Amino acid sequence: MADENPSIISHVSLGTNDFPAAREFYVRVLGTLGCRIIMEHEGAAAFGKAYPEFWIQTPFDGAEASRGNGVHVGFMAQSKAEVNAFFKEAISAGATEDGDPGHRHDYGEPYYGCFVRDFDGHKIEAAFWDLELAAKLGMI
């Protein structure tokens, strides 16, 4: 179906040990990608452009939130400039650099992205995929 949502992911949720700080961090950082809080309730906020795709929340079981080794969440940017703005805002908001904005040879020539870690240690990425270049290279 042409109008079917092409995404295979309903949403992603990350736990936090400091919800107010995490909320403020993600408001600032995801705002660079045109995202906003779509819904919110005590201890949880969902971000997206049209529907709740990314949640931050205190764990429901009351235990300490932890990060997963080998896990990261990648956010789609619409341009290299958005990747750069995401990185700059994330660092300004207290993130730790984990990969400056740029191309990654292993990811293919059309890729441009960056990686940071939020203050809970979660690895997050902003990535731009140049569809015109990918088509020119016969990748799509």
* DSSP single-letter state for residue 52: -
- Predicted confidence at residue 78, as pLDDT, reads 96
pTM of the model: 0.91
Per-residue confidence (pLDDT) for residue 7, from 0 to 100: 76
Tell me what the mean pLDDT of segment 18-31 comes to.
98
pLDDT, tens only, 57-93: 999 999 999 999 999 999 999 999 999 999 999 999 9
pLDDT on residue 2:
58
Q: For the chain, report the end-to-end CA distance as a whole number of angstroms.
A: 19
Find tokens 């092409």 and name the residue. 6
Q: Which domain holds residue 46?
A: 12-54+73-136
Per residue in 115-135, pLDDT (tens digit) is 999 999 999 999 999 999 999
Classify residue 101: in a domain, yes or no.
yes
Strand 36-41 and strand 44-48: pairing? antiparallel
What's the structural domain count of the chain? 1
In a domain, 5, yes or no: no
CATH of the domain at 22: 3.10.180.10
